[in-house]
Chains A and B, each alone.
Chain A
Amino acid sequence: MNDLYILGIETSCDETAVAIIKNGTEIISNVVASQIESHKRFGGVVPEIASRHHVEQMTIVLEEAMNESKLTFQDLSAIAVTAGPGLVGALLIGVEAAKSLSFAHSLPLVPVHHIAGHIYANRLVKEMQFPLLALVVSGGHTELIYMKEHGHFEVIGETRDDAAGEAYDKVARTLNLPYPGGPHIDRLAQEGEATIDLPRAWLEEGSYDFSFSGLKSAVINTVHNAEQRGETIKPEALAASFQASVVDVLVEKTIRAAKQYNVKQVLLAGGVAANQGLRVRLEQAIGTLDNVDLIIPPLKLCTDNAAMIAAAGSIFYEKGIRADLSLNANPGLDLEAFSR
């Protein structure tokens, strides 16, 4: 059988990324151009500026990924691209570039859901075993996804308000930490004790959904009240207490779902998977379960990249999922509807 080479393109937020994956699991090249330095000035990603940077970077990143791979377009099996969700203007650049390549070389075009990509980053580390549970935590997502087989996704829990990463960014701003705040809070939390009492939103009994806006408000109120009383709060203690609250809920719900669904693997996916506090606690908790394997991809594959899109694209390609030249960017693309 011929080897399967998929070129993946990802531009859903502030990274312009292209990668080539062999047979769904082997990274041939993986190039990411980050815009973070440009957006830092604004304390967050500015959509119009992100779109402009993607136009500047797209062919440069494509060329680097192709050169690194030593392959030609004739060697490729298909082009995979993030079709959504994400910033519509940013997604569009990747989608138009992918369609242009598909058209120029008569290559099949495979649309990929961004979250499916994050989950499939794990397959670049270790082969998936079903059924499995994926905890996806990033700036835009907090979801528990059940998979009974390749390409099948069932969202069993999701955030009802802020994503975990969003809460991290807002709390970081309250503590006057630079953007992006997540890594700073994680670092401070390692240096402090969780001595401040903050709420944990468990929601209704049995629910796998999340809510972080109440916690975020509690943090802001705590800081505000202390200021009014003329007291100072140790940022380390606040960071540790906030992180403990987030991690408690994430880990507890993940473990409960892992037991209920009798899964063989738990995958951690998304940018927040880089968080040390979350990694350590999840490792400990999964360790208490019998025959459940925890997979956490290396940092480079947790944050947005195209290797994960090409990895997911490999599975969708084999399942026969195709798009034509009318493919559009869909900022609100639904994971379950997409995989049906």
Chain B
Amino acid sequence: MNILAIDTSTDVLGIGLVSDEKVIGEYITNIKRNHSTRVLPAIEYLLKDCGIQTKDINKIVVAEGPGSYTGLRIGVTIGKTLAWTLKIPLVGVSSLKVMAASGRYFDGYISPIIDARRGNIYTGLYKFENGEIIEVLEDQHISTEDWVLKLNAMEKPILVLGSDVPQHKEIFTVRLNEFACFAPITDNIPRPGELALLGRQLVEENIHSFVPNYTRLAEAEAKWREQNRR
């Protein structure tokens, strides 16, 4: 059983390959460069290096969002097209859940964050129970101010994760005081191997109707609904 995992939801480009009980390959970069020119070459490179042919892939797991709209569409389109044409199952996993997985041994809650500009973040709240990751608060788009208010009410240590932590670190430190915990920079990078594992047991999606979880309406759509509310 070979699982190909694709994560393009943030600046991190992650491709993972899990074969049975072994992570056999991971390709990760964390640079601000166009995903569209680099994802398929990265997949080709990793498969070739690991000696896996496209026909040997049994399942595709894609990070479904939230995150960069364009980034998500690139990963999801590649995942959908490959799964459809290779006639293999496709599953989606929350991009935030993949990040939270790096906090496996943390005793408390885990809040993975992705910067969403203008003081906003994409985030959710997770915890580990008997080695299983559990969603405590669902993935959402929220202002960092409002989010720390919610977290404060939990009265438990909270591990804030993700490569966008530096720009939001101060507000978490100030508002959560001793409850705010931060990880070393290596744990701020979502691991495509984790993505593959999280998707391994999931039931396959309908490939045609599978879309990214943007967590937000397109701006024009939101305005239109506002104006046409009865």
Which A residues fall within an 8 A CB radius of B?
41-42, 46, 48-49, 51-52, 55-56, 58-60, 62-63, 73, 89, 92-93, 95-97, 99-101, 103-105, 324-329
Contact = CB atoms under 8 A, between A and B. Distances in A.
Interface in B41-76: 41, 43-44, 54, 69-70, 73-74, 76
B16 to A, nearest CB: 17
Interface in B14-60: 34, 36-41, 43-44, 54
A63 B220 contact: no
Contact of A99 (B40, B208, B219, B224): B40
A42 B219 CA distance: 12
Interface residues of B, number: 34
Given A48-B219, A326-B38, A329-B36, A97 B208 contact: no
A94 B228 CA distance: 32
B70 A89 contact: yes
Interface stretch (B78-86, B102-110, B152-160, B183-191): B78-86
Q: Mostly helix, strand, loop or mixed at chain A's interface?
A: helix
Nearest to A101: B85
A89 B73 contact: yes
A308 to B, nearest CB: 22
Contacts of B211: 52, 55-56
B81 A46 contact: no
Contact of A73 (B70, B85, B209): B85
Nearest to A98: B81
A101 B81 contact: yes
A41 B81 CA distance: 30
A202 B186 CA distance: 64
Contacts of B207: 59
B145 to A, nearest CB: 26
Contacts, number: 99
A250 to B, nearest CB: 32
B70 A92 contact: yes
B86 A93 contact: no
Of B41, B44, B73, B82, most A-chain CB atoms within 10 Å: B73
A100 B82 contact: yes
A326 B76 contact: no
B192 interface: no
Contacts of A101: 81, 85
Contacts of A96: 36, 39-40, 73-74, 77-78, 81
Given A59-B208, A104-B54, A329-B36, A52 B218 contact: yes
A325 B76 contact: no
Contacts of A46: 218, 220-221
B86 A104 contact: yes
A48 B222 CA distance: 12
Nearest to B81: A100
Given A42-B220, A104-B54, A326-B41, A51 B36 contact: no
Given A100-B40, A325-B44, A58 B70 contact: no
A58 B77 contact: yes
Contacts of A326: 37-38, 40-41
A328 B34 contact: yes
A42 B224 CA distance: 8
Contacts of A42: 220, 224
Nearest to B42: A325
